[in-house]
A = this chain, B = another copy of it.
């Protein structure tokens, strides 16, 4: 009987074979994904050091059919933190090597994007990527590298350092890749436009292959509060997390282990938790058997005394910035932006921000334009699978809020930020419908929609009043003239006083009383 052959592949090889799950499925999509991964890394790199991001992106045509799959050079420059010289090869030439495996909000989540882009460029053009970076020291480091896919290792072809008395910091990545720019352009421009909408404190410049310049200047100079690294909430941990903490902890007793390594576990809570688990607080954590660890985790998960995770590790945009961003890009007649209070799912904190915009510069009528954002990045693909689509197209009855979907121009903006965005794909296309997240989005949309309803009601009333005033203005003089004549008087009364009175009155009911 033939036996089956088992073999092991490297993570780079896995993502090389399955690149479509990381968003590199075809020349159109790949170009979009390449741009996006590099832009998101750059934005993160600037924010992590509290600098207003300045990005310069250039696509240059190299060879091949312009109306199909051609080779383009992609260059992205940022003013971010930069990467330490000795870390550059593995940071960019090794899949699953990254700086974002900490518990903190960031755009990148999988530690894949930058390296996948370089890998994609390499397999389509067989040319190395160039990485130039400095953390603001005396030297700028310049590498030319390729990825040894089967071994998941960087392969450095050239390395240079440049003395830099200016102490520039940032990263420049340059690579060639196959792509179909002509067909990718609409998504790429939409992506940049929406990125500008939720990052109104960033300058983004894009030069397309035909040399056209797109400039998205910052609308504000204020950055949102920076996210901080946080500890795991007891509701979010599993046996593996606790085992790892036990391995690295310096705590000698369970009581201090609990209060040191977990969020929302103060001394009182720790005592109650130990009591419920029937464990002795003086036990050394390293002496716990696997079964006891599993038991402790179960007790933690079922324990109802913890406060929900706090949101200091999150960086929402805030009402002011989101409103500025939406106004700048859509210029609507009315806008209501709502920031929901922090919430959590399975111990992961999240905040939902919702904007509902109406009329004015919103381009389409007859359908809801949905803008979806997660940790300040726009999501453009697979809209109908997203939880926000479910909310805006299924759960909210817009007629209730006086919106006529057939005639009115309506845009809904949903921004979810979290230490753990519930993406359903590595390509970061859409959010799963976790009940807690769905509920917060629903509440946010309803809250903003109520403000819209108030506005529309007032508008309706003003319209009605104006119409009534028109009627009064037309007939009151006639009535006055007629009454004057009928009563034999000479001088007509001044109807202007009456009209002004009606016009002034805000509530139509009171004028009728």
A contacts, CB < 8 Å to B: 1-11, 13-14, 16-18, 20-21, 25-26, 45, 48-49, 81-84, 87, 90-91, 94, 96-99, 101, 109-111, 122-127, 135-136, 149-150, 169, 238-240, 244, 290-291, 293-294, 297, 382, 384-385, 422-427, 429, 432, 434
Indicate if the CB atoms of B96 and A9 lie closer than 8 Å.
yes
Q: Known contacts A84-B3, A135-B1: does B422 contact A25 (CB below 8 Å)?
A: yes
Indicate if the CB atoms of A90 and B16 lie closer than 8 Å.
no
Indicate if the CB atoms of B426 and A21 lie closer than 8 Å.
yes
Indicate if the CB atoms of A3 and B81 lie closer than 8 Å.
yes
Indicate if the CB atoms of B123 and A21 lie closer than 8 Å.
no
Q: How far is the CB of A107 from chain B (nearest CB, A)?
A: 14
Q: Give Cα A205–Cα B11 distance, bound, in whole angstroms.
A: 36
Q: Give Cα A125–Cα B262 distance, bound, in whole angstroms.
A: 20
Indicate if the CB atoms of B123 and A240 lie closer than 8 Å.
yes
20 additional contacts (CB under 8 A) given A9-B111, A385-B385, A424-B427: A1-B49, A3-B81, A4-B84, A6-B99, A7-B101, A8-B96, A18-B110, A20-B424, A21-B426, A25-B422, A25-B424, A122-B239, A124-B238, A126-B239, A126-B291, A150-B244, A384-B384, A384-B385, A424-B429, A425-B425
Q: How far is the CB of A289 from chain B (nearest CB, A)?
A: 10
Question: How often does this chain occur in the complex, in copies?
Answer: 2
Q: How far is the CB of A436 from chain B (nearest CB, A)?
A: 11
Partner of A4, one of B3, B18, B83, B294: B83
Q: Known contacts A90-B6, A94-B8: does B123 contact A1 (CB below 8 Å)?
A: no
Q: List 14 A-B contacts (CB under 8 A).
A: A1-B49, A2-B49, A4-B81, A6-B97, A7-B98, A7-B99, A9-B101, A17-B101, A21-B21, A122-B239, A123-B238, A125-B239, A127-B294, A382-B424
Q: How far is the CB of A119 from chain B (nearest CB, A)?
A: 9
Q: Give Cα A426–Cα B293 distance, bound, in whole angstroms.
A: 30
Partner of A239, one of B14, B123, B424: B123
Q: Which residues of B contact A94 (CB under 8 A)?
A: 8
Partner of A424, one of B13, B290, B425: B425
Chain B residue at smallest Cβ distance from A297 = B126
Q: How far is the CB of A488 from chain B (nearest CB, A)?
A: 72
Indicate if the CB atoms of B99 and A5 lie closer than 8 Å.
yes
Q: Give Cα A150–Cα B20 distance, bound, in whole angstroms.
A: 26
Q: How far is the CB of A73 from chain B (nearest CB, A)?
A: 15
Q: Give Cα A432–Cα B10 distance, bound, in whole angstroms.
A: 25
Chain B residue at smallest Cβ distance from A346 = B26
Partner of A25, one of B6, B10, B385, B432: B432
Q: How far is the CB of A287 from chain B (nearest CB, A)?
A: 16
Q: Give Cα A122–Cα B6 distance, bound, in whole angstroms.
A: 23
Partner of A126, one of B7, B9, B290, B429: B290
Q: Which residues of B contact A99 (CB under 8 A)?
A: 4-7
Q: Give Cα A110–Cα B17 distance, bound, in whole angstroms.
A: 9
Partner of A20, one of B122, B291, B422: B422
Q: How far is the CB of A424 from chain B (nearest CB, A)?
A: 6
Chain B residue at smallest Cβ distance from A146 = B290
Indicate if the CB atoms of B426 and A294 lie closer than 8 Å.
no
Q: Give Cα A75–Cα B219 distance, bound, in whole angstroms.
A: 59
Chain B residue at smallest Cβ distance from A425 = B425
Indicate if the CB atoms of A7 and B135 lie closer than 8 Å.
no
Q: Which residues of B contact A25 (CB under 8 A)?
A: 422, 424, 432
Chain B residue at smallest Cβ distance from A97 = B8
